[in-house]
Copies of this chain bind each other. A is one copy, B any other.
Amino acid sequence: MIADSIIHALRNALGKGNFPLHEPYFAGNEQRYVQECIASTYVSSVGAYVERFEKELAAYTGARRAVAVVNGTAALQVALQLAGVHANDEVIVPALTFVATANAVQYLGAVPHFADSEEATLGLDPLALREWLKIIAERAGDAYRNRQTGRRLRALVPMHTFGHPCDLEGLLAVSHDYRLALVEDAAESLGSRYQGQHTGTFGLLGTLSFNGNKIITTGGGGAILTNDERLADHAKHLTTTAKLPHRWDYVHDEVGYNFRMPNLNAALGCAQLEQLPEFLASKRRLFKRYQEALADIDEVRLMEEPSGCKSNYWLQTLVLEESAVEQRVEILKATNDVDLTTRSAWRLMHQLAPYEDCPRAPLQVAESLRSRIINIPSNLSN
């Protein structure tokens, strides 16, 4: 039974006890900053922690600007809107992703178009995507449209799965050749770098998430990254109800959103961000322990950072060999039964009821990965 071998290996790496998939870890200034924030009464839409968090995120990621918002989904929705996505456009997203990637497209009235992933990164495969676009994309003026649906192909959204950067160089080339705005969904990859540069800073815009299950958390929160000052200013305006500054008057010049991050949440974020280097080291130590413990199990591959990349190792990931696919559910069940929390990869987007009729490329690799991926306990405190 592979399940038994895996449980044995996980216990070797982790020891006795309950091991969740990932929990927040508060060992820094969280209590202090949040107390200061409440004492100041500035817990809501205005406050010094929001500005500080934005500045520190920009400094950390190397993006020229960061705009803090209420969550990663909202960040992606607004980033796509700023990238020019309109109703009835198509936006290429991985089939293997959390549902928020597709939802953000749908909220704009646009249509997600699902593309395949590659084994090495778990992210979008630029070669397969190029082959697919050769078949379905036709030139229409300055742009390309999907000849099968007639819709404009507007944007490309790579997602860095479980923190592993995908092939940004290849995807940037595809986005250039097919006039697609590249917007990175870096919700899972704070701290991950591709050829030394932080994920989320390669496209026109990128987005982060600070949900409770992410490497750092603000309770709920997200951010938009961009090197374009004009887009950053517009992101701030759009996410703060598009109100024009005035001492007493309330004028809004476009349909904005109530998407600002509350100062209370930003206070938590500032404390968390200070600890990110240690969190990254902790995640990497756990990876090494798993690497050692799992070395002798031929039927599983422990997901390793792609070549040229530094992953944040947010969620440690087993990829079963084809020969072990039948045992996936048994492994999930057996591990969860002994308080080693594991989970499956997400159901693929085109297999979800709301997205089953959306356009899609051949998805063999994503389908295979979906049947082979198991996330294993990845707590920071390990």
Q: Using a CB–CB distance below 8 Å, which chain A residues touch chain B?
A: 23-26, 30-31, 34-35, 38-39, 41-46, 70-74, 98-100, 103, 106-107, 109, 211-213, 217-220, 241-243, 247-258, 260-265, 268, 332, 336, 342-347, 352-354
> A248, B70: Cβ atoms under 8 Å?
no
Given A44-B217, A219-B265, A250-B98, A103 and B336 contact (CB-CB distance below 8 Å): no
> A23, B35: Cβ atoms under 8 Å?
no
Complex contacts, A43 vs chain B, CB 8 Å: 24, 212, 217, 219, 268
Tell me the minimal C-beta distance from A172 to chain B in angstroms: 28
Complex contacts, A332 vs chain B, CB 8 Å: 247-248
A265: contacting residue among B241, B264, B354, CB under 8 A: B264
Given A25-B41, A258-B73, A347-B250, A100 and B241 contact (CB-CB distance below 8 Å): yes
> B220, A70: Cβ atoms under 8 Å?
yes
Complex contacts, A352 vs chain B, CB 8 Å: 251-253
The 10 A-B residue pairs with the shortest CB-CB distance in the complex, in nearest-first order: A44-B212, A219-B262, A219-B264, A220-B262, A73-B258, A250-B346, A248-B343, A43-B219, A255-B354, A248-B332
> B250, A99: Cβ atoms under 8 Å?
yes
A353: contacting residue among B39, B254, B344, CB under 8 A: B254
Q: How far is the CA of A167 from the CA of B339 in the complex (A)?
A: 56
Complex contacts, A73 vs chain B, CB 8 Å: 257-258
Q: How far is the CA of A34 from the CA of B352 in the complex (A)?
A: 37
Complex contacts, A23 vs chain B, CB 8 Å: 41
Complex contacts, A268 vs chain B, CB 8 Å: 38, 43, 264
